[in-house]
């Protein structure tokens, strides 16, 4: 996107110019509108516009002085002067100072302005690193998306990707996806601009919106031979991108970077390295992950995890809760040791849930949040313990006690009193004979009662929790989601 700054002391003129065309549609980003030259200087420093459209006659600091100051500062922005018929002497002075073009206000139309700006844009693109010209933002995005996938680079493109950053917006669904579509488009444009500004607006940078909350920032470091300097720059860029996203758009981000050793590593390779580094967020809570510090990603599901998924239905049939708990912890540790890619771990959980006969649940985006999810496999239905004759008298009585009293304040102490045993001893023999703990079976009874009520009654969620044995509404919702993977509200929707 070509950045444009408007400068005019007349509010109506500024408003007219800002609305004269759909700037984004034609490949321009309107970064601001200043009311005089002094304000414009501050905005130029902050936004680094490519094109400045300025009035000639203004109070405080007129257009001539603004142009003179910009030239003295070595600013290379293309300047278009706005003038009236009686400003001819000012226009001649502006031309001497090196403005690109001038246009009379009374002749200004959308067509004449776009024609003038498109000529300037072609000049800007041809002098930028790369030399490519795109007719629309979508065309430019599609070209770079193809490069990310390993597509062939155009012969006239002299931009050589030697490093990349994978920028991911956290909680994208709640921060951005809920916006109207038009507002989302503006957000993506603004976010890309922030990424470019974080990279100090150097010419050797490209920012591509890949999908939803993920962006690719491509960098051409071919002019920097020092690996140390490359690393230093990418560290500065990544840190700035995290700060800018939070400060200007109120969105938290996480960034993975590629390695920086290759002088012309190629877009696809750098992008894959950056995504691999970003994968580390699944294992560690930090904002930026540098490719040269990361271990290699596991590209396959570990054998132990495959075996667990294949045998989960057998474990459940045998009511082998001890093995499920033990194997679950071992599988998570194996994922951690191999740094298995996040999407593979999530797909493994989906497959395991399907084999266990569970409904789809929300996928955690951190390995730490996988702890405790095995409870869904341990929440056996009452009918999984039907043959009470196969258990000792104390355990059989306890099972009946839980089936009959789980909707009340059932407890291990009360159950132990019913069978005249020490609570600790009853807990031990119950777990040994059934394969699940007393509390796990109590929870299974309550959750399954809640499922029945949600599926077959119209009772309020709060009342369902109370009728199922949960005294606290918040605890009921939290526990139900942890066990089943969905909220009570969503479970009811799935049943209808």
Cα distances (Å, whole numbers) of residue 292 to 220, 234, 277, 296, 359: 17, 11, 9, 10, 40
Q: List alpha helices for 357-437, DSSP H.
A: 375-378, 393-405, 412-419, 423-434
When pLDDT is cut at 50, 70 and 90, the band that residue 381 belongs to is very low
Nearest CA to 205 out of 152, 170, 167, 177 is that of 167
Q: For the residues 434-444, what does the mean pLDDT come to?
A: 87
β-sheet with 51-55: strand ranges across: 28-34, 2-7, 51-55, 78-83, 101-104
DSSP 8-class letter at 298: B
In this predicted model, what pLDDT tens digit does every residue of 108-134 receive, in sequence order? 888 888 888 877 776 665 455 555 667
Q: Give the pairing of strands 78-83 and 51-55.
A: parallel
In this predicted model, what pLDDT tens digit does every residue of 147-187 receive, in sequence order? 999 999 888 888 889 999 999 999 888 888 888 888 888 88
* Cβ 163 vs Cβ 219: under 8 Å: yes
**Torsion, CA 31, CA 36, CA 42, CA 47, rounded to 10:** 10
In this predicted model, what pLDDT tens digit does every residue of 443-475 receive, in sequence order? 988 998 998 899 888 899 999 999 999 989 999
Instruction: Give per-residue burial for 230-265: e unless 16+ CB within 10 Å, then b.
Output: bbebbeebbebbbebbeeebebebbbbbbbbebeeb
Question: Hey, what are 38's tokens?
Answer: 């002094």
More reliable by pLDDT, 485 or 126:
485
Task: Specify the pLDDT at position 382.
Answer: 46
Cα distances (Å, whole numbers) of residue 190 to 13, 125, 187, 208, 213: 24, 20, 5, 12, 13
Percent over 90 (pLDDT), the chain: 39
In this predicted model, what pLDDT tens digit does every residue of 42-70 receive, in sequence order? 899 888 888 999 988 888 888 888 888 88
* Cβ 241 vs Cβ 255: under 8 Å: yes
CA 463 to CA 403: how far, in whole Å?
20
Mean pLDDT for all residues in the chain: 86
Give the three-state DSSP class for 184.
helix
CA 238 to CA 288: how far, in whole Å?
7
pTM value surpassing 0.75: no
Q: Give the pairing of strands 78-83 and 101-104.
A: parallel
CA 10 to CA 454: how far, in whole Å?
63
In this predicted model, what pLDDT tens digit does every residue of 265-316 receive, in sequence order? 689 999 999 999 999 999 998 999 999 998 888 999 999 999 999 999 988 8
CA 33 to CA 341: how far, in whole Å?
46
Nearest CA to 207 out of 262, 253, 173, 156 is that of 253
Phi, psi angles (nearest 5°) of residue 83 = -145, 165
DSSP 8-class letter at 340: B
Report how far apart the first and last C-alpha atoms of the chain are (Å, whole number): 48
β-sheet with 205-211: strand ranges across: 205-211, 214-219, 163-169, 253-257, 288-289
């Amino acid at each position: 996107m070509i950045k444009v700054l408007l400068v005019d002391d007349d509010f109506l003129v500024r408003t007219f110019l800002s609305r004269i065309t759909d700037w984004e549609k034609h490949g321009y980003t309107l970064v601001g509108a200043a009311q005089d030259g002094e304000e414009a200087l501050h905005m130029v420093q902050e936004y680094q516009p490519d094109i400045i459209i300025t009035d000639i006659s203004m109070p405080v600091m007129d257009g001539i002085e603004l142009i003179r100051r910009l030239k003295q500062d070595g600013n290379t922005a293309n300047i278009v002067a706005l003038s009236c018929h009686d400003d001819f002497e000012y226009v001649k002075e502006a031309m001497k100072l090196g403005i690109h073009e001038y246009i009379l206000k009374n002749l200004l139309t959308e067509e004449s302005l776009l024609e003038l700006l498109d000529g300037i844009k072609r000049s800007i693109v041809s002098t930028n690193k790369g030399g490519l010209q795109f007719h629309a933002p979508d065309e430019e995005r599609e070209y770079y998306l193809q490069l990310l996938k390993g597509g062939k680079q155009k012969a006239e493109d002299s931009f050589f990707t030697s490093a990349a950053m994978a920028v991911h917006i956290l909680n994208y669904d709640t921060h951005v996806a809920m916006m109207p579509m038009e507002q989302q488009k503006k957000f993506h444009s603004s976010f890309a601009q922030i990424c470019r500004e974080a990279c100090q607006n150097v010419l050797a940078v490209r920012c591509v919106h890949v999908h939803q909350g993920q962006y690719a920032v491509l960098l051409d470091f071919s002019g920097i031979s020092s690996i140390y300097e490359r690393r230093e720059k990418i560290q500065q860029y990544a840190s700035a991108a995290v700060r800018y996203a939070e400060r200007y758009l109120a969105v938290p981000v996480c960034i993975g970077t590629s390695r920086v050793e290759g002088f012309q590593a190629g877009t696809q390779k750098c992008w894959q390295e950056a995504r691999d580094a970003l994968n580390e967020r699944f294992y560690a809570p930090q904002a930026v992950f540098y490719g040269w510090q990361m271990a290699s990603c596991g590209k396959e599901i570990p054998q132990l995890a495959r075996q667990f998924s294949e045998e989960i239905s057998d474990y459940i049939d045998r009511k082998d809760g001890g093995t499920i708990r033990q194997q679950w912890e071992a599988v998570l540790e194996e994922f951690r040791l191999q740094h298995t890619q996040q999407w593979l771990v999530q797909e493994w959980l989906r497959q395991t849930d399907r084999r266990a006969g569970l409904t789809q649940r929300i996928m955690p985006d951190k390995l730490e949040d996988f702890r405790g999810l095995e409870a869904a496999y341990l929440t056996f239905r009452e009918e999984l313990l039907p043959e009470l004759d196969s258990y000792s008298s104390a355990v059989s009585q306890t099972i009946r006690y839980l089936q009959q009293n789980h909707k009340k304040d059932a407890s291990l102490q009360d159950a132990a009193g019913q069978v005249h045993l020490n609570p600790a001893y009853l807990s031990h023999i119950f777990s040994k004979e059934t394969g699940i703990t007393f509390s796990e079976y109590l929870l299974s009874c309550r959750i399954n009662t809640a499922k029945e009520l949600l599926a077959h009654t119209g009772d309020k969620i709060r009342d369902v929790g109370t009728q199922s044995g949960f005294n606290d509404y918040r605890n009921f919702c939290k526990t139900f989601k942890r066990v089943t993977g969905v909220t009570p509200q969503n479970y009811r929707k799935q049943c209808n």
